[in-house]
Chains A and B, each alone.
Chain A
Amino acid sequence: MKLTNRSVVVSKKELTWSEKLYLPAITQGLGITISHFFKKKATVQYPEVEKPRTEIWRGRHVLKRDEEGRENCTACGLCAVACPAEAITMEAAERMKGEEHLYREEKYAATYEINMLRCIFCGLCEEACPKDAIYLTDRLVSPEYDRQDFIYGKNKLVEKIDDRIDIVPRKK
């Protein structure tokens, strides 16, 4: 039974004298290879050259601070429950007197960890966040030698006060 029109009947007929030389076939193949030297390359020399990424790229996460530099995250746990990969864990703590300039609300995340190996960068955590705290940025997760180093804690996630990350394009 013939299933498709593309099937080809394999023939084992004897090669002609010119075919037995293999030279025309080799030059034909080389020609294809050499023609690629002059074509535009599909690859880039990463990390010296980077391919352009869109502004709303879903990359490495950031925990935002507000205008006064206080952490937005209150450890409400909605990102963790929304996370399909179960990559986020956190522990909450109560804000003490004198810490009002550090945390915006009376509860804050004492620890907040994202396992970047589990994360699938879907952006559901960002969507679930009621406090405008977590955002995905156009930055990449850097390669590491140790699996443990892919578990990002607050030291890697919270944005630096003097080095804010602009997430306005993602908010649109």
Chain B
Amino acid sequence: MAKVTIDGIEIEVPDGTSILQAARMIGPTVAPPAMCFYTNLPSSGGYCRTCMVEVTKGSEKDPRPMPKLVASCRTQVMDGMVVGNRTSEKAVDARKGVVEFLLLNHPLDCPICDQAGECHLQDLSYENGSAKTRTDFERRTFDKIDIGDKIQLHMNRCILCYRCVKVADQLTPERVHGVMNRGDHSEISTYITKAVDNEFSGNMIDVCPVGALTDKTFRFKSRVWFTKPVTAHRDCDKCCGKVVLWYKGEDVLRVTGRKDQWGEVEEFICNTCRFDKKRTSDWVVEGPTNLSRHSVISANHYEKLVVPNELTLNDIKPLNP
């Protein structure tokens, strides 16, 4: 076990835990944001640099501070480590810079993008970025590539987090897409525009933190905040079958995996559940999904409205019995 202090809060965690995971154990107030790290995808993380934290004390044995900010998703805790995240000016400032870099080439097409409202980059830039763009040069654009009839790829929106590549590597037996070219020219693509049609390929949509990979069957159907998420399950021989159905009126507009507090899918689902089962009769509905009150998706949803009990004569007790 290692004792680690993050933003002044001490916690004991098993050896080998990353700083990010330790911070998440404490809670969302100290957890650094993460755009590329994904708990269910081993070897993810380390690309986006949004989770940078300052380590002011390396460990009990070697109390020297780490010379540079470290990526908390890839750095393991050590006994006696002291980490600054929100309290560290350096980390906050660096994150602001990282957000600015991520947004350099990211198009400002949130009004069109289907991810808007559940986009991690939106949240990240809202919480950590600056309100103004300082550059006025042309943003990088790519030619459109069709990667099948189920998944829509918008390369312009990609932030190269590699999560979808990890999904393809780890969930599907043979990968047909990956990152081509290097540096500023990198892009997600398939081998000679070969369609992605693996049974678990739809999870790329769920893991994508931005709107680069979206559900083509849901394309422009509705904004997420007009849909009502409902938790449901079904017997599936390929996956766990635990999903969230996104309703508009009586229609299921799309099916996604269940996401936890950190926006990560709890269990991956198969394409049959995701794309082919869009009737209420296919599912056993468990109830409305609990969303954060701060999410725009919960705007104008009143399912949690509590009506105060009306007083009856029996409720009124005399003051001096």
- A residues contacting B by CB (< 8 A) are 74-78, 80-81, 86, 92-94, 105-107, 130-131
A-B contact count (CB 8 A): 38
B116 touching A76 by the CB < 8 A rule? yes
B112 touching A74 by the CB < 8 A rule? yes
Kindly list chain B residues whose C-beta atoms are within 8 Å of the C-beta of A93: 220
Total residues of chain B contacting the partner, CB 8 A? 15
Docked pose: A74 CA to B108 CA in angstroms: 13
Kindly list chain B residues whose C-beta atoms are within 8 Å of the C-beta of A86: 300
Docked pose: A94 CA to B110 CA in angstroms: 15
B112 touching A107 by the CB < 8 A rule? yes
A76 touching B110 by the CB < 8 A rule? yes
Given contacts A76-B223, A92-B220, contact A81 B300 (CB under 8 A): yes
Judge if B275 is at the interface, Cβ distance under 8 Å.
no
**Which residues 91-118 of B sit at the A interface, judged by CB distance below 8 A?**
109-112, 116
Judge if B252 is at the interface, Cβ distance under 8 Å.
no
The 7 A-B pairs with the shortest beta carbon distances in the complex, nearest first, are: A76-B111, A77-B223, A92-B220, A107-B112, A74-B111, A107-B220, A94-B220
Judge if B226 is at the interface, Cβ distance under 8 Å.
yes
Kindly list chain B residues whose C-beta atoms are within 8 Å of the C-beta of A94: 219-220
Docked pose: A158 CA to B157 CA in angstroms: 30
**Dominant secondary structure of chain A at its interface with chain B:** loop
Query: Which residue of B has the minimal Cβ distance to A106?
Result: B112
Docked pose: A86 CA to B225 CA in angstroms: 13
Judge if B306 is at the interface, Cβ distance under 8 Å.
no
Docked pose: A74 CA to B223 CA in angstroms: 11
Docked pose: A74 CA to B111 CA in angstroms: 7
Judge if B296 is at the interface, Cβ distance under 8 Å.
yes
Docked pose: A93 CA to B220 CA in angstroms: 6
**Which of A80, A106, A131 touches B226 (beta carbons < 8 Å)?**
A80
Query: Which residue of A has the minimal Cβ distance to B116?
Result: A76
Given contacts A92-B220, A93-B220, A107-B220, contact A77 B112 (CB under 8 A): no
Docked pose: A78 CA to B111 CA in angstroms: 8
**Which of B109, B222, B225, B296 touches A92 (beta carbons < 8 Å)?**
B222
A132 CB, min distance to chain B CBs, angstroms: 11
B225 touching A130 by the CB < 8 A rule? no
Docked pose: A74 CA to B114 CA in angstroms: 12
